[in-house]
Homo-oligomer: A and B are copies of this chain.
């Protein structure tokens, strides 16, 4: 009768505010999403709470049952987890960029940043190795490259996240010296800022003399001779998904940020060839992988990023067409009948706002025993009439666990 598998499909930023009464979702042809709405129970959902503009990171924490105000560690730790660093509670993590500063003698902090992304140089494996091998700090550290010019730095051993980064955020200025954020800094704050500055100086000295950069300079390319750090955060203690909810978690996403959230929660981040996290992603491959994962995992998160990007671009037609593409790609899920399927978003990204908004997102849950309602289409102007009424992101996992028969009774 019942079954304990759950597939959560998060279509990033799918919902909008209307333009002349229509949205990309409401005007798209979405027979598959609509059939889910017809067969399931619908509602609207505030990822955090009404009016609050969720990030994709805080939104996913909430949708996966983790109150972000308790667990959200900031961007640094999520990015670090996203590139595959195994974080421990108390670790301080930064987002990092390979960048280009002026090529002359002197201290790193006196040189103007020429390009914050080192000409988007991406072949940074050797450079990352040279940093890990060549730098000696008073504390343990891990540097890891990410995609493109990106990377992450983790500092271990009881340091502080109440310090600034070194990224000046604009070009034409020298890097910022890390400093404590508090007017009354603790000794850990002061020590951490010093370590960050030492790391940055040493990284520059190693990178500017690295053969790869000398070569790039010779051929007129921007050398990746600096590391800029931003978004420091401290990794909290996070009970993993399996311990917290009793279900094994897998994540299918092309987006480093969501992979990072998944790793922080102890999930298995599955690799899918062609999953880019962009408009060119291989949706069919991701859906196929998600369906396979139902055999090996209990709770599967399938994250589809691009509708959010079209929202940020303000591209109504592009978003509408991509939603139709998503709809076609989800077709195989129609026959997946031994699994609860929830389809929703982590936040709205209206093309009129070109950023995340606090508008609620539509949500549908299909599976054995749900109380079907009269809603027959998935969208902003239909789901609110459904049987779920208006729920919050944090409600979703408990509702799914209960349907799947794996929730504990509270009381007798």
Give A contacts to B, CB under 8 Å.
1-2, 17-18, 21, 44, 48-59, 68, 72, 75, 257, 350, 352-353, 355-359, 369-373, 380-381, 384-392, 395, 397-402, 405, 407-412
Whether the pair B18, A49 counts as a contact (CB closer than 8 A) is no
How many subunits of this chain does the assembly comprise? 2
- Whether the pair B391, A391 counts as a contact (CB closer than 8 A) is no
Task: Classify the secondary structure of A's interface with B.
Answer: loop
Given contacts A389-B44, A411-B68, contact A50 B398 (CB under 8 A): yes
Contact between chains at B53 and A409 (CB < 8 Å): yes
Alpha-carbon distance A18/B387, docked complex (angstroms): 13
What's the minimum C-beta distance from A58 to chain B, rounded to whole angstroms?
3
* Least CB separation from A231: chain B residue: B412
> Are B412 and A51 touching (Cβ within 8 A)?
no
Contact A402 B357 (CB under 8 A): yes
B405 and A353: CB pair below 8 A? yes
Distance in Å: Cβ of A180 to nearest Cβ of chain B: 24
* A49/B398 in contact, CB under 8 A: yes
With A389-B44, A391-B390 known as contacts, the answer to whether A409 contacts B51 (CB < 8 A) is no
Residues of B within 8 A of A398 (CB): 49-52, 358
Q: Is the CB of A18 within 8 A of B369?
A: yes
> Which of A75, A389, A400 lies at the interface centre, i.e. has the most chain B CB atoms within 10 A of its CB?
A389
By beta carbon, the residue of chain B nearest A352 is: B369
| B371→A401 contact, CB < 8 A | no
Chain B nearest CB: distance from A24 CB in Å? Answer: 13
Given A381-B373, A387-B384: A49 and B409 interface contact (C-beta under 8 Å): no
